[in-house]
Amino acid sequence: MSEPAEHDIRVHVESLYIPGESDPERNRYVFAYTVTIENHGTLAARLLGRHWIITDTDGKVQEVRGEGVVGEQPYIKPGEGFQYTSGTMLEAPAGIMQGSYQMVDDAGRRFDAEIPPFTLRAPQTLH
């Protein structure tokens, strides 16, 4: 059996289309997404920053970098997690988001935690 990894941050995301804030006639599609970050590693880590790559079905790519998430830089101990909800807007009815969180462990070592790709999709509307 292998040793537990020091850095084992797992990210799960669920997305939701927000019709009340969207305006498809103006190519405005708003989505909320809830991120759950779990520390399955042996060391605690602080989330310092984020890097998102957002690609819509028209091929438009947006890159977003920033400190922390929702104004916080959560400290996540082994066996614990952190959850937050945020949002984004696309000019197409669907797209994919993916990226990474920049983390630092208690020993001061920096590492990236991958955010696996997830889909943003507005329901199909009939005219």
| pLDDT (tens digit per residue) in 26-54 | 999 999 999 999 999 999 999 999 999 99
Q: Which of 75, 123, 125, 84 is nearest to 103 (CA)?
A: 75
| Res 71 pLDDT > 80 | yes
| Res 127 pLDDT > 50 | no
Burial (0-12, 13-18, 19+ Cβ within 10 Å), 39: buried
- Within 10 angstroms of residue 36's Cβ, the number of other Cβ atoms is 13
Instruction: Work out the end-to-end distance of the chain between its first and last CA atoms, rounded to an integer number of angstroms.
Output: 57
Q: What angle do CA 49, 63, 20 make, to 5 degrees?
A: 95
Q: Do 46 and 108 form a contact (C-beta atoms < 8 A)? A: no
- The radius of gyration of the chain's CA atoms, rounded to the nearest angstrom, is 16
The predicted model scores a pTM of: 0.91
- 8: pLDDT confidence band, cut at 50, 70 and 90? very high
What integer pLDDT is reported at residue 1 of this predicted model?
Answer: 52
Q: Do 93 and 73 form a contact (C-beta atoms < 8 A)? A: no
| pLDDT (tens digit per residue) in 84-116 | 999 999 999 999 999 999 999 999 999 999 999
The residues spanned by each domain of the chain are 9-121
The fold of the 9-121 domain, in CATH, is: Immunoglobulin-like (2.60.40)
What integer pLDDT is reported at residue 109 of this predicted model?
Answer: 96
